[in-house]
Structure 1
Amino acid sequence: MAESTNAPTPADTGYVLNFPTDGTSFGVRENLVDILERELLGPIHGEEELLPFSPKQMYLVGL
């Protein structure tokens, strides 16, 4: 019997990947750097993101 995995799809994760997911180390690295920059520095949800609180509460290094 084969085990099924419920791996999250891109729609489930909420991340938009800006580089093709072709399995190359370049694509993986560029997507990882992009996600880390958005998570740590912001804005996660695009340039027009409006926060109802201080960015210091959401982003580790962003102001």
Structure 2
Amino acid sequence: MPKFPNVLGAAMKRQTTNPPERADELADFVLQDQNGEDVRLGDTWSDGPAVLVWLRHYG
């Protein structure tokens, strides 16, 4: 089995997060999803925590 370089070792270490104490001020923020549709940020965490990922465009 090939060994991965240490750069991938971060996945093996326990990670911690520092979420904001209050995010309700962000609930009305609207952004676009991967299909260009508007999404209200507060709707994304109505059932649980939400994770936002920004992808860089190289082109």
Please give the range of the TM-score, normalised by the shorter of the 2 chains.
under 0.3
Higher strand fraction: Structure 1 or Structure 2? Answer: 2
Higher helix fraction: Structure 1 or Structure 2? Answer: 1
Task: With the length of structure 1 as denominator, give the TM-score of the two structures.
Answer: 0.19
Task: With the length of structure 2 as denominator, give the TM-score of the two structures.
Answer: 0.19
